[in-house]
């Protein structure tokens, strides 16, 4: 009876199809092997951090990522995957420069937090700790997000160019309620002007009239001025901007032209910068501004509030949105609208206009009703 029982067949492990690589143990860790784009067999540590994987599953996931990248036309460079985040940030900055994009700013904290790590170590826990630390230091959600977006862009670039098998997921925090709502009333502007030295006061006046950014104003040179306008060669959005020599701007430029000459050890010279002290750009403006606004009784007033004020006053004065956006250099209507602060005074005026409209409608209805009664 037992002679008719078939022998138990020995189970053979499933093999990965040829050409799709393999995982193998090496020195107590797991490595992966796969054919590169030239058909040569490549052996590398199986961990996402460039080291041998602790588990076989991690090595298999890494291999899947490499093969998926190859399937999408990306040739993954095995040795480059061992680079740190700091190296990827450097590559990203170089790529931006090559494409003529603006240089990254404010990356110091994110480089300090993640620069020495491998991409696999940019975990949700590490990102949460970074956000908490930056928020505790007073950084707003938008500031934190801009740095993390640069980090995400660097790692995605590495994935697209084949130097990283898989880019970590980096979510952004909500920025709801992050928009600042400050703007200047004329009395506040005048009070702060009175506390500023002459050259610094002209910077503030120029900001009040134009709504341009502080960095754009401080960098203006006499080569940017002609008989008709002040011309900004490039701005934050990468586009040039022009402001006609009219009204207050004309007066500021006239004052600065009269103060262009300064004394140097080699005798009288003319400054290349419009706003200067002894020929030097006003690098210390933020410090002088903080002192002046505190002395004037408005310690929370930001120079950037001039920008919001210009948008608000342009809308109030009836300038079309297209022209106003060219004036201030806003590239999208969404950002322009965010800067168009609605003050309590605006709401009160709107309520008065609505009341007048409804009163007029009610009066017209009553007159019409009275006429109908008389005819009847």
**What's 131's domain CATH number?**
1.10.150
CATH no. for residue 333?
A: 1.10.443.10
Of the spans 204-213, 250-259, 344-353, 367-376, which averages the highest pLDDT?
A: 250-259
Most distant CA atoms of the chain, gap in Å: 121
219 and 289: one domain?
Answer: yes
Task: State the burial class of residue 281 (Cβ atoms within 10 Å of its Cβ: 0-12, 13-18, 19+).
Answer: middle
Question: 342-366 pLDDT, tens per residue?
Answer: 444 544 555 565 667 667 767 877 7
Residue 32 CB partners (closer than 8 Å, separation 6+):
21, 22, 23, 24, 43, 44, 45, 46, 59, 60, 62, 63, 66
Is 173 a member of any domain? no
Q: 335 and 348, same structural domain?
A: no
At a CB cut-off of 8 Å and minimum separation 6, what does 112 contact? none
Of 73, 94, 116, which residue constitutes the final position of a domain?
Answer: 73
Same domain, 135 and 34: no
User: What is the chain's mean pLDDT, rounded?
Assistant: 78
* Residue 223: per-residue pLDDT: 92
Share of the chain above pLDDT 90, in %: 18
Q: Indicate whether 246 and 209 sit together in one domain.
A: yes
Q: Is the residue at 174 inside a domain? A: no
Q: Is residue 136 part of a domain?
A: yes
Q: DSSP class of residue 80?
A: G
169 belongs to a structural domain: no
Residues 312 and 241 in one domain: yes
Q: Residue 144: helix, strand or coil by DSSP?
A: helix
Instruction: Assign residue 137 a region (left: φ > 0; alpha: ψ between -120 and 50; beta: otherwise).
Output: alpha
DSSP-based three-state secondary structure for 163: coil
Per-residue pLDDT tens over the stretch 12-51: 555 655 667 888 888 888 888 887 666 777 788 877 666 7
Answer yes or no: do 234 and 283 share one domain.
yes
pTM above 0.85, yes or no: no
Beta bridge partners of 23: 32
Same domain flag for 322 and 199 = yes
User: Looking at residue 221, what DSSP letter applies?
Assistant: B
Is 3 a domain residue? no
54 lies in a domain?
yes
Looking at residue 343, its pLDDT comes to 46
pLDDT of 257 above 90: yes
Q: pLDDT tens digits, residue range 127-137?
A: 888 888 888 88
Residue 64, pLDDT above cutoff 70: yes
Segments forming the whole domain that contains residue 63? 22-73
Q: What is the pLDDT of residue 286?
A: 92
Give pLDDT, residue 186: 85
Does 328 share its domain with 365?
Answer: no
What's the mean pLDDT in 181-196?
A: 86
Structure token digits, residue 183: 């703007």
Instruction: Identify which of 230, 238, 248, 146 has the alpha carbon closest to the alpha carbon of residue 190.
Output: 248
| Residues 350 and 330 reside in one and the same domain | no
* Whole-number Å distance between alpha carbons of 169 and 119: 10
Asked if 256 and 310 sit in the same domain, the reply is yes
3-state per-residue secondary structure call for 270-328: ECCECCEECCEECCCHHHHHHHHHHHHCCCCCCCCHHHHHHHHHHHHCCCCHHHHHHHH
Number of domains in the chain: 4
Q: Where does the pLDDT of residue 268 fall: very low under 50, low under 70, confident under 90, or very high at 90 and above?
A: very high
The pLDDT > 70 percentage for the chain reads: 71
Alpha carbon distance 41, 104 (integer Å): 39
d(CA 191, CA 344): 22
Are residues 319 and 263 located together in one domain of the fold?
yes
Domain identity same for 200 and 333: yes
Q: For residue 176, is it within any domain?
A: no
In a domain, 151, yes or no: yes
Looking at residue 84, what is its pLDDT? 82
């Amino acid at each position: 009876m037992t002679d008719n029982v078939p022998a138990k067949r020995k189970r053979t492990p499933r093999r990965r199809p040829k050409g799709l690589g393999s995982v193998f143990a090496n020195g107590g860790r797991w490595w992966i092997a796969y054919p590169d784009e030239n058909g040569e067999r490549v052996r590398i540590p199986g961990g996402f951090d460039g080291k041998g994987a602790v588990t076989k599953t991690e090595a298999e996931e890494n291999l899947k990522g490499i093969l998926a990248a190859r399937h999408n036309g990306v040739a993954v460079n095995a040795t480059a995957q061992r680079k740190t985040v700091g190296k990827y940030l450097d590559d990203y900055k170089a790529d931006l420069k090559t494409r003529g994009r603006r240089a990254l700013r404010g990356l110091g904290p994110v480089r300090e937090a993640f620069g020495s790590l491998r991409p696999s170590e940019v975990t949700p826990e590490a990102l949460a700790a970074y956000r908490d630390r930056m928020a505790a230091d007073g950084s707003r959600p938008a500031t934190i997000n801009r740095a993390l977006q640069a980090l995400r862009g660097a790692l995605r670039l590495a994935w697209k160019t084949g130097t990283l098998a898989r880019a970590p997921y980096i979510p952004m925090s909500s920025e709801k309620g992050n928009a600042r709502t400050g703007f200047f009333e004329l009395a506040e502007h005048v009070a702060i002007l009175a506390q500023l030295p002459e050259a610094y006061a002209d910077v503030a006046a120029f900001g009040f009239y134009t709504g341009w950014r502080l960095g754009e104003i401080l960098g203006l040179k006499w080569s940017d001025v002609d008989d008709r306008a002040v011309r900004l060669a490039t701005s934050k959005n990468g586009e040039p901007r022009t402001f006609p020599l009219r009204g207050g701007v004309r007066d500021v430029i006239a004052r600065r032209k009269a103060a262009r000459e300064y004394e140097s050890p080699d005798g009288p010279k003319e400054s290349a910068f419009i706003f200067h002290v002894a020929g030097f750009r006003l690098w210390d403006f933020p410090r002088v501004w903080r002192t002046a606004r505190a002395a004037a009784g408005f310690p929370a007033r930001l120079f950037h509030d001039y920008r919001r004020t210009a948008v608000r006053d342009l809308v109030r004065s009836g300038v079309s949105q297209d022209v106003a956006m060219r004036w201030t250099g806003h590239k999208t209507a969404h950002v322009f609208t965010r800067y168009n602060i609605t003050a309590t005074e605006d709401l009160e005026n709107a309520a008065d206009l609505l009341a007048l409209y409804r009163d007029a409608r009610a009066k017209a209805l009553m007159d019409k009703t009275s006429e109908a009664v008389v005819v009847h």
